[in-house]
Amino acid sequence: MATAPFLPSRYEDLDDAFRGRLRPVKPLIGLVKQAAGGIRVNGGIRFIPVYGQSGSGKTCAAQELSTHLPECEVFTLSRDEITSHEVLETAIRNRWARRAQPKLQVGIVDQYEEHVARKADIPTQFIESLSLLDRSVGRDTPTLFIWLTTSKSFQKELADATSRNARILLARSFEVEGPDKQEWPAIIEETFAFHNHGTGLADYDILTDDLEEIAYVSGTIGQAIEEVGRRLGTYTPELQDISEYQVVMVWPVTGTRIDRVLSFTNPREGYKLDWGAFYKGHDHDAHVSLPFHAFNRARLYFDVRLVPIAVADLHPLCQNLDDGAAALAPS
């Protein structure tokens, strides 16, 4: 294959032009529409903690809400906006002021709790910040906040934290399960073809039957995509592994000198070089005249063998390896 296949499994790796093709998650869209209606009638803001297994598609579902609900504006909250009420309030006002005032703003928190140590403090602090917004900027800027998490216990903590301002909570235990398993093979094939110039998975020996089998044993569509990616890995260029290279140095000797060479190597171990004996077995003049730094580098990088050849007839050839017409005595 001319180029390595590419099959993204995360939302941020998808081609921008492909994101609009993602399947809508109808239950989440229904909740967002419910939030918009409630805000329009009663004012204030709304909040929903959303649970989903890793790879279930909750990030895709949330980030693409504006694709399916064009009157919504979706944005991702930064770390500072999550941890500081002042920063969050200013950001909400600024976003509302510079936009064409959509019917609903949707702020996404994407698994922020997984990146901080003091997770226990987050629910109370963040919900308190939302409660303050509900009584200030939230009166003029209809906003829904969605917290995505892979922890059901953390989802419950977020929901419990709204007890003093229960009206902002849209749903306690909403879960994104992703598209139906029967749709996974088609989704994976479509995603692959788009990101590989129309090439099909069949060109890489992965058929629809294989995708159905993968979907059957996978817990989420993300896991299924990862498994397809693992199989595609056999078609990607391998990293060069120089540890697999073997360097064989041949040392022609005669008579008793063969015993000297054998002190540097062990025939029973395949003539593997004993570097310590090899280095100490040469005097200072040899250390200066021979490329011992190169020898040492070679034995560090490669599997180096030193094989003695008990014949003097190769001496003329060894004097000049580029001379293919060297006269060799019979042996």
**pLDDT digits 0-9 by tens, 237-284:** 666 677 778 889 888 787 777 788 888 888 888 888 888 888 888 888
Determine the pLDDT at residue 253.
Answer: 81
- According to the model, what pLDDT value does residue 287 have? 86
**Is residue 139 domain-shared with residue 267, that is, in the same domain?**
no
User: Is residue 212 a part of any domain in this protein?
Assistant: no
Determine, yes or no, domain membership for 299: yes
Question: What is the mean predicted confidence (pLDDT) over 219-229?
Answer: 92
Q: CA-CA distance, 248 to 303, in Å (whole number)?
A: 8
Domain boundary among 135, 155, 175: 175
Alpha helices of 43-136 — where are they, by DSSP H? 58-63, 65-68, 79-83, 85-98, 122-134
Q: Are residues 171 and 248 in the same domain?
A: no
> Residue 320 — very low, low, confident or very high, per pLDDT cuts 50/70/90?
confident
Of 217-231, 258-272, 308-322, minimum mean pLDDT range: 308-322
CATH number of the structural domain spanning residue 37 = 3.40.50.300
DSSP H or E run through 310: strand 303-310
Give the number of domains in the chain: 2
Q: What's the alpha-carbon Rg for the chain, to the nearest Å?
A: 33
* Of 175, 191, 217, the domain-final residue: 175
Looking at the fold, whether 156 and 49 belong to one and the same domain comes out as: yes
- pLDDT for 1 equals 42
- In-domain check, residue 75: yes
Of the three residues 175, 190, 215, the one that is the final residue of a domain is 175
Model pLDDT for residues 198-214, shown as the tens digit of each residue = 988 888 888 899 999 99
Q: Are residues 37 and 155 in the same domain?
A: yes
- Coil, strand or helix: which one is 139? helix
Domain containing 29: what range? Answer: 24-175
Verdict on whether the full-model pTM lies above 0.85: no
Domain presence at residue 42: yes
- Do 65 and 166 lie in a common domain? yes
In a domain, 71, yes or no: yes
CA distance 74 to 157: 24
Would 2 be classed as within a structural domain?
no
**How far apart are alpha carbons 57 and 11 in whole angstroms?**
8
Q: How many other C-beta atoms lie within 10 A of the C-beta of residue 87?
A: 16
- Domain membership flag for residue 124: yes
Summarised one tens digit per residue, pLDDT across range 141-150 is 889 999 999 9
Strands 174-175 and 72-76 turn out to be: unpaired
Query: Is the same domain home to 52 and 127?
Result: yes
Residue 97 confidence (pLDDT) above 70? yes
Please check whether residue 7 is in contact with residue 227, taking contact to mean a CB–CB distance below 8 angstroms.
no
> pLDDT band at 109, cuts 50/70/90?
very high
